[in-house]
Amino acid sequence: MIKDTTAEYQQVIAQCRDIFDKKMKDYGAAWRIMRTESLTDQIYIKANRIRSIQRKKEHLVNEGVEPEFIGIINYSAMAIIQLRLGVVDQPDLNSEKASKLHEQVLNDAFELMSKKNHDYDEAWRSMRVSSMTDLILMKLLRVKEIEDNNGKTIISEGLDANYFDMINYAVFCMIQINESKQQ
C-alpha cells in the first residue's frame, strides 16, 4: 500500500483545527493569558498521560491517547502563537483571527515536516508511537530548561523549533494510530 504522508498529515491537522475552532466558540481566546511555561506544562500533562497509558496498557478515564495527541498539537500551536504575539492580560483575539493564526502555525509545521521528511526519508514510519512519545517528553524537558534559562540557548534550537517538532511527532503518532485502526 502506498502511503500519502501529505494527505494523512492534512487529515490529522483538519481534525485538530476542527477541535480548536469548536473550543474557540466555547471558550474564546482565554488561552491568550497563558504564559508559554503554562502551555508547556499543559503539553507535559498530556504527554505524560500518554506514556502512562502506554506503560500500563489500560486507562480508567474513558478517553484514549488520540485526544491527548490532538491536545499536544493544539497547545503547541498556541505556544508558538504566544511566542509570536506575546502574552496578554485579557483575551484579545476573536475566533476568526485565532483560527487564522492557528492555521498558519500548522501550515508552518507542515512545511517544516515536508523538508525534514524529505531529508530523513520518512524514518518516523519505522518508529514506535511509544518512542515518539518519549521524544515529545524529551522535547518538553528541553523546553522547560530553555524557559528556565529565560529563553536563551548557546547552540541549540529555540523554543519554537521544539514546539514545531512536538506538533510533527504528535501528528506522526496520530497517523500511525489511524493506520493501525485500518488494518
Residues 146 and 152 sit within 8 Å (Cβ to Cβ) = yes
Average pLDDT over residues 121-149: 95
Helices (H) and strands (E) in the chain, counts: 6, 0
- Which residues fall within 8 angstroms of residue 109, CB to CB, at 6 or more apart? 77, 164, 167, 168, 171
Instruction: Give residue 121's identity as a one-letter amino acid code.
Output: D
Instruction: Give residue 13's identity as a one-letter amino acid code.
Output: I
Residue 143 has pLDDT above 70, yes or no: yes
Among the listed residues 8, 7, 72, 19, the one whose alpha carbon sits nearest the alpha carbon of residue 46 = 72
A 10 A CB-CB count for 29 gives 19
CA-derived radius of gyration, the chain: 16
State the pTM of this model.
0.95
- What mean pLDDT is reported for the chain? 94
Residues 36, 43: Cα–Cα separation, whole Å: 10
Q: What is the pLDDT of residues 85-126, one digit of tens each?
A: 999 999 999 999 999 999 999 999 999 999 999 899 899 999
